[in-house]
Amino acid sequence: MTQGFLAKNPSVLIFLAALALFTLAVTLLSHAYGVSFLSTSFVKTLGKTLCLCLIALAMDLVWGYAGILSLGHFAFFGLGGYMIGMWLMYARTEEIVVQALSGAPLPPTPEEIVSGIGTQIFGVVGGSEIPWVWSFAHSLPLQLMLVVLVPGLLALAFGWLAFRSRVTGVYLSILTQAMTLALALYLFQNDSGLRGNNGLSGLQNMPGQGAVTQDQLSVWFLWASALALGLGYLLCAWVVSGKFGSVIRAIRDDEQRVRFLGYSVESYKLAVFTLTAIIAAIAGALYYPQAGIINPAELAPIASIYLAVWVAIGGRGRLYGAVIGAAFVSLLSSWFTGGRAPSINLGFYTVNWVDWWLILLGLAFVLVTLFAPQGIGGLFDLWQGAKHPKRRGAPLGPDDGSFQEKEAVE
């Protein structure tokens, strides 16, 4: 069956091969395992980009295929990061505390260690008690389970309420924005138990791996991110290849008609929403150890909007489009906002890209939506000689998320 699946979807093999080549190339050019051509911080940027590609896949599945314009998936991404960050911070602090107390004449009691950890982590928000949300933070397996469970259950509860009431289109988008904003505001509070606006930091240090340098760690995380992206791609491609993919694309274009076929639209939407939230959370759990720090600003509503922009520019409704869009736009964005892009002196005005990048991105988004709705992915159709229907350019269905004829390929 797998053979048939790959034979029917040659783009999956091409993608996986390209990803493997990319990973190998970065490894050989890295500081730790190769010729030291790429700096460790750039390897981290590439690893983080792979995680962003993974959440873009999730966004494409939920928006490009199922037509649900969720503007809240970065909330799940951030939650995934928080969940893994709690273990990283706790275990790392534990090491430091144990080391500091080892000089004392008597060996420290477990209570002393726990209170030391509490003071270390929560001193910054004026506390020393470890809040209940950290109950599992001592255990990596438990905290890894929470990476999946917490965002998954939040998506399940939110989706159940929203889809059951048949909230669709722009109203759903607004609701998801409200969800991510509410979550961010909650995390900003010091008594939420997650260090308020300080967030979690020092996540780049692997507990128990003191001998491993950041040079090596950055490559390890690149491998893990590439593996997750590869598996995520396979999963998404498998989900959309069969009848399930048919049904969710049908829901995107005309959900009322799908109901009259006997499919319970709400449970499909809920399944896709929850699955993509979990993919987003896993992406976040791999992203933040490479970023080193997570704070509530990461969950800002604008982050989730960027995600939609990446997928739109890459080409929605095709998985490799989402990956290309996320990689291309996020790398370009870090180049422009990193101050590395040369300013343009017009004589009367200097175009400073750090300020002007967002305007450029917004303009690109508008232009792509108007003139090239297939996005960058459309270039592959050009190359393969695939034609786009040019009948009227009308939507293919009555629903808000439905495909436009200009996006479809004959």
Partner 1 sequence: MSALLEVSGVSVTFDGFRAINNLSFNIAAQELRAIIGPNGAGKTTFMDIVTGKTRPDEGSVTFGERSVSLLSLSEAQIARAGVGRKFQRPTVFEDQSVFDNLMMALKKPRGPLAVLMFRASKGDARKVRDLAEEVGLGDQLERKSGELSHGQKQWLEIGMLLAQEPRLLLVDEPAAGMTLAEREHTTALLVEMAKTRAVVVVEHDMDFVRRLDCKVTVLHEGSVLAEGTLDHVTKNPSVIEVYLGRG
Chain positions contacting partner 1, by CB under 8 A: 1, 239, 242-244, 246-247, 249-250, 253-254, 256-257, 259-265, 267-268, 271, 389, 396-397, 403, 405, 408, 410
- What's the rounded Cα separation, in Å, for the pair 296 and 194? 9
Nearer to partner 1, 65 or 288 (CB): 65
Other Cβ atoms within 10 Å of 163 Cβ, number: 19
Closest alpha carbon to 310 in 294, 329, 288, 336: 329
- What's the rounded Cα separation, in Å, for the pair 184 and 187? 5
DSSP run (H or E) holding 44:
helix 40-59
Q: What is the tally of helices (H) and strands (E) in the chain?
A: 15, 4
DSSP string, 156-200: HHHHHHHHHTT--HHHHHHHHHHHHHHHHHHHHSGGGSS-GGG-E
CB of 312 to partner 1, least distance (A): 17
CB of 65 to partner 1, least distance (A): 11
Nearer to partner 1, 192 or 241 (CB): 241
Nearer to partner 1, 66 or 194 (CB): 66
CB of 322 to partner 1, least distance (A): 17
* φ and ψ at residue 344, rounded to 5 degrees: -105, 120
Nearer to partner 1, 197 or 264 (CB): 264
CB of 320 to partner 1, least distance (A): 18
Nearer to partner 1, 1 or 370 (CB): 1
- Biggest distance spanned by C-alpha atoms of the chain: 84
Q: State the amino acid at position 317 in one-letter form.
A: G
Q: Of how many residues is the chain composed?
A: 410
CB of 59 to partner 1, least distance (A): 19
CB of 150 to partner 1, least distance (A): 22
CB of 262 to partner 1, least distance (A): 4
Nearer to partner 1, 103 or 262 (CB): 262
Give the gyration radius of the chain's Cα atoms. Answer: 23
Nearer to partner 1, 99 or 256 (CB): 256
Residue 322 contacts residue 312 (beta carbons within 8 Å):
no
Angle 241-383-20 from CA coordinates, rounded to 5°: 60
CB of 266 to partner 1, least distance (A): 9
Nearer to partner 1, 35 or 387 (CB): 387
Other Cβ atoms within 10 Å of 365 Cβ, number: 18
